[in-house]
Amino acid sequence: MVFFQNMGLLAVTPGMVFMWVIGLLLIYLAITRQYEPLLLLPIGFGIIITNLPLSYLMEPGEGLIWRFYHYGIEWEIIPPLIFLGLGALTDFGALLAQPRLIFLGAAAQVGVYVTFFIAYAMGFSLEEAATIGIIGGADGPTTIYLSAKLAPQLLGACAVAAYSYMALVPLIMPPIMKLLTTDAERKIRMKKGRKVTAREKLFFPIFAAMVIILLVPASAPLIAMFMMGNLFRESKVVERLNEVAQNSLMNMVTIFLGVSVGATMSADIFLRKEVIFIFFLGLFAFMISTASGILLAKFMNLFTSNKINPLVGAAGVSAVPMAARVVQKVGASADKKNYLLMFAMGPNIAGVIGTVIAAGIFISILK
Amino acid sequence: MATEVLVPLAGSIWEILVEIGEEVEEDDELLVIEALKMENPVYAPCDGKVSEIRVKKGDVVEDDDVLMIIETT
């Protein structure tokens, strides 16, 4: 009798069954469509197991996944470690060759702030509104980091929204890009920037870490790790650390990140009408960010003879390198001999840093 | 007259689609450069005959390196 009472089967609720379906859907999208499989697969599985009753996997203090979540995400360890790997993977060359493109990465944060105000006006708390707005930056680890600090109850929904929109970059961005540019603008071939020396690339992470952290100290955990990873890469003397940061370490923490994020989505937390708003607002934020980057590029063109192809502005959202690839594709469909990929990487990387700074500003104001 | 085909974006040579001696027309695909996990075709700048190929599959190339030479008649 005791065995039957302890069986989970009798405690299943319709909400849990619904969450299983969502988990399966993410797993399906990860496998068949290859939508961010490294994250959506463990997230999908995490959703299923957290919605199996009486398993206590997320029970504070004792559950296995709760420990991953608590020590990994609440203690703010995993997102900065991901940033260490991202730093090691990043080549700042494209950005240093054309520093003016940094502004495009900054412009793409407009969606973050616009959405912040709209979400607040809709009745979300300031902390929740900030977390929803940051989805517009389309940066998974930053969204998770900010959410864990300001609005942990929204973490699962915001993370899934951010990763979904990153995966959907090739579908969401091109219509906006085509709507806001003329055929002639899409055909603009940009002049190559100057050659960037190895010494500049070496000093950049040190200098950038100092400047950004001095200005926005709350961004320090993510920026410090990102720049250290980049220093590993550019110093050329710690190839082993560089390699571990961008491959094995990143892969390891991704496992714990994915399953923990999924496990935050239990039916009672996730199935509320606010979650629908989060997905819509997140998409809105992302679209505004795409548009504002393009519009700033067009605005900058009014003042310079060295024209910027406005498509490049769309890459200011930080989905690296998906956004840059989309820019290349849309550009090549207007003029097949136009290679925008490397130009787009500049704002793309600036966008990552811009999103982290935006998150740092939210933390310092709201915490 | 010889026309140089230059690298339009840095990356590695993914595939070479023509051979020495082959006649090509402007805008034909000559080779594919892989950058950021994306395959980018490089097109012929003019009509002519491929007289020299200076890279091989897997080579890492920088902006404006010479990929091949096309002899125009």
ipTM reported for the complex, 2 dp: 0.90
Biggest CA-to-CA distance, chain A: 82
Q: What pLDDT score does A97 carry?
A: 92
Burial of A108 (0-12, 13-18, 19+ CB in 10 A): buried
Q: In what order do the strands lie in the sheet with B11-16?
A: B38-43, B29-35, B11-16, B60-61
| Distance of alpha carbon A69 from alpha carbon A271, whole angstroms | 20
Quick one: average pLDDT of B3-13? 92
> Please, which pLDDT band fits residue A65 given cuts at 50, 70 and 90?
very high
Quick one: average pLDDT of A96-102? 93
Q: Taking all residues of chain A, what is their mean pLDDT, rounded to a whole number?
A: 94
- Over the stretch A19-48, which tens digit does the pLDDT of each residue have? 999 999 999 999 999 888 999 999 999 999
Contacts of A131 (CB under 8 A, 6+ apart): A143, A146, A147, A150, A151, A154, A155, A158
Q: What are the structural domain ranges in chain B? A: 2-71
| Distance of alpha carbon A24 from alpha carbon A44, whole angstroms | 6
Q: Are A27 and A44 in contact (CB under 8 A)?
A: yes
Q: Residue-wise over A11-32: b if at least 16 C-beta within 10 A, else e? A: eeeeebeebbebbeebbebbee
A219 has a pLDDT exceeding 80: yes
Nearest 5°: the CA angle A51, A42, A81 is 120
Q: Nearest by CB to B40, from A321, A341, A345: name it.
A: A341
Contacts of A189 (CB under 8 A, 6+ apart): A309, A335, A338
Query: Assign residue A304 a region: left if phi > 0, alpha if psi is -120 to 50, beta otherwise?
Result: beta
Give the closest residue to A94 by CA, choosing from A12, A21, A201. A201
- Over the stretch B22-52, which tens digit does the pLDDT of each residue have? 999 999 999 999 998 889 999 999 999 999 9
| Residue of B7, B33, B36 to mutate, testing the A interface (most A Cβ within 10 Å of its Cβ) | B36
Contacts of A33 (CB under 8 A, 6+ apart): A167
B58 has a pLDDT exceeding 80: yes
| Distance of alpha carbon B37 from alpha carbon A97, whole angstroms | 21
Q: What pLDDT score does B4 carry?
A: 94
Q: What pLDDT score does A126 carry?
A: 97
What would the 3-class secondary structure string for A274-328 be?
HHHHHHHHHHHHHHHHHHHHHHHHHHHHCCCCCCCCHHHHHHHCCCCCHHHHHHH
8 Å CB contact of B63 and A336: no
Angle between helices A220-235 and A239-246 in degrees, nearest 10: 130
8 Å CB contact of A336 and B35: no
Quick one: average pLDDT of A197-208? 97
A2 has a pLDDT exceeding 80: no
Looking at the domain B2-71, which fold is it?
OB fold (Dihydrolipoamide Acetyltransferase, E2P) (2.40.50)
Q: Which of residues 187-226 of A touch B (CB under 8 A)?
A: 192
* DSSP string for A61-115: TT-HHHHIIIIIIITT-HHHHHHHHHHHH--THHHHH-GGGHHHHHHTTHHHHHH
Handedness of CA A324, A329, A332, A333 (dihedral sign): negative
Q: Nearest by CB to A339, from B8, B27, B37: name it.
A: B8
Cβ count near A1 (within 10 Å): 5
Q: Which of residues 336-365 of A touch B (CB under 8 A)?
A: 336-337, 339, 341-342, 345
A1 has a pLDDT exceeding 80: no
8 Å CB contact of B38 and A341: yes
- Over the stretch A260-290, which tens digit does the pLDDT of each residue have? 999 999 999 899 999 999 999 999 999 999 9
Q: What pLDDT score does A192 carry?
A: 84
> Please, which pLDDT band fits residue A5 given cuts at 50, 70 and 90?
confident
| Distance of alpha carbon A243 from alpha carbon A259, whole angstroms | 24
- Over the stretch A181-198, which tens digit does the pLDDT of each residue have? 999 999 999 998 888 999
CA atoms within 13 A on the CB side of A16: 14
| Distance of alpha carbon A30 from alpha carbon A27, whole angstroms | 5
A350 has a pLDDT exceeding 80: yes
Angle between helices A126-133 and A341-366 in degrees, nearest 10: 170
B73 has a pLDDT exceeding 90: no
Q: What pLDDT score does A329 carry?
A: 95
8 Å CB contact of B41 and A342: no
Kindly compute the dihedral angle of the four CA atoms of residues B60, A167, A124, A113, in this order, to the nearest 10 degrees: 40
Quick one: average pLDDT of A122-151? 95
Q: What pLDDT score does A318 carry?
A: 84
